[in-house]
A and B are shown apart, each in its own frame.
Chain A
């Protein structure tokens, strides 16, 4: 079974600061990688995803993430954060089933609570 570690549980930044949230996963096979954001009282929204190809993926709202296979990492970055980025950020993975076409559930990290100070 796969597991996900998010090392930063709480991050406080000022507006315009650069952001990097760490995510490491544990699984020996092929994985799909995701970052979701959850604004207070709202549902999870997909920021970006990686399945294959270019390891640097760009998502919505200026976020990007880099998949480094040798480090089992998928860190989320944003060059300049805004107050509206205050939210909970979850890294998630799933492992495609051997038969393909499956509906494999996501394994989430514990989340990082990001607070942006104006």
Chain B
């Protein structure tokens, strides 16, 4: 079965640079979530989109922004990168509604030098 696709799998950036992470949800899923998982930490919810509109917002820094496009894929844009942004960034998708299970992608590992 098709899963959530994230690209790139690995990304290396330097401080103050920008990065864009992409997420392609499972076909027919209309909801996308972004999470950040630091080393040895639990995933922290950043932001979600339902039907191309921002739905819920977590601990997303002001330096980050995201959007969901007409084909339901989503992009997380990160600017002025800091060392502390080094983490695994997961995208999850679901059908609309909080009582629908979220299916996670393999993540993008972002390393800031």
Contacts and interface: CB of A to CB of B under 8 A. Distances in A.
Secondary structure at chain B's binding surface: helix, strand, loop or mixed?
strand
How large, as a class, is the contact surface on chain A? 20 to 34
B56 interface: yes
8 contacts: A34-B102, A101-B97, A102-B55, A103-B96, A104-B48, A105-B47, A106-B43, A110-B41
A69 interface: no
Interface of A: 32, 34, 36, 42-46, 49, 51, 90, 94-97, 100-111
Contacts of B48: 103-105
Contact of B104 (A45, A96, A111): A45
B70 interface: no
A103 B99 contact: no
Contact of A46 (B32, B101, B107): B101
A110 B32 CA distance: 23
Contacts of B35: 105-106
Given A101-B50, A108-B42, 10 more contacts: A43-B107, A45-B104, A46-B101, A46-B102, A96-B97, A101-B97, A103-B50, A106-B35, A106-B102, A110-B42
A94 B33 CA distance: 13
